[in-house]
Amino acid sequence: MSLTLSFHPLSSFCQKVLIALYENDTPFEPHIVDLMDEASSAAFKKIWPIGKFPVLRDEAKARTIPESSIIIEYLAQHYPGRTPLIPSDRDFARETRMRDRFYDLHVHMQMQKVVGDRLRPAGQNDPYGVAQAKALMQTAFGMIDAEMATRTWAMGDAFSMADCAAAPALYYANLVMPFSETHRNVAAYFDRLMTRPSFARAVKEAEPYRALFPT
């Protein structure tokens, strides 16, 4: 087997890549990194000193690929399957990348800011930053709500990298700022994502670690 993914099942950015791998039944070796464990963390930082997962290693091509979007681009190019994660039409591809960025930057990272604040040492919290993050998420929810009124998936009829980005971002965003009562189209899209087998599998595999999520 050529591909190894360094990841953690509870990690939202790792789930984004797991969805892409599961969509196409791409074979890979799972390598769970425990950042709380000194040895596991140190070994991972030898691969990627930034210390953020997921990271993909392709032994056959001697390549190490960090960053969830870049990993999905790599999979789409070198290990394509039944779900074309990036459309071949160049305009469509650019729009897919834009939505991937949108979900990462304006939902996912804002959610991370809120969750990360819960993990900070006492006295080191950032309430102003958390309020800013929540306000940006609200704006993003409003934009997604308008767009998803007429779409099945983020790009329309076809599932793509943009949905890989949206699923875990919305899953955890819904835990910190529930949207089911306020944004019905976001909620309906999220329900569709939850029944997509690739994401349902990633959610199920994260269940044993769920107690680690800070409430």
Ligand X SMILES: N[C@@H](CCC(=O)N[C@@H](CS)C(=O)NCC(=O)O)C(=O)O
Return the ∠ at Cα 203 (arms to 214 and 97), rounded to 5°: 95
Would strands 3-7 and 29-32 be described as parallel, antiparallel, or unpaired? Answer: parallel
| 129 CA to centre of own chain | 22
Sole binder of ligand X in the list 29, 32, 42, 51 (CB under 6 A) = 51
Query: By C-beta, is 51 or 208 nearer to ligand X?
Result: 51
Look-up of token digits 């892409």: 20
Closest distance to ligand X from the beta carbon of 14 (Å): 6
Residue 52 interacts with ligand X (CB under 6 A): yes or no: yes
7 forms part of the interface with ligand X (CB under 6 A): no
Which class for 186: exposed (0-12), middle (13-18), buried (19 or more C-beta within 10 A)? buried
Rule CB under 6 A: say whether 11 interacts with ligand X.
yes
The yes or no reply on residue 45 touching ligand X (CB under 6 A) is no
**Shortest spacing between CB 149 and ligand X, in angstroms:** 28
Helix or strand or coil: residue 34? coil
Q: Which of 67, 100, 145, 163 binds ligand X (CB under 6 A)?
A: 67
Q: Which is nearer to ligand X, 174 or 185 (CB)?
A: 174
Task: Using alpha carbons, select from 188, 212, 160 the residue that is nearest to residue 10.
Answer: 212
The region of 62-70, 126-134, 187-195, 204-212 touching ligand X under the rule CB under 6 A is 62-70
In the three-class reduction of DSSP (H, G, I as helix; E, B as strand; rest coil), residue 58 is classed as strand
Strand partners, 32: 7
Of the ranges 66-74, 78-86, 122-130, 156-164, which one interacts with ligand X (CB under 6 A)? Answer: 66-74
Q: Given the rule CB under 6 A, which residues bind ligand X?
A: 11-13, 35, 51-54, 67-69
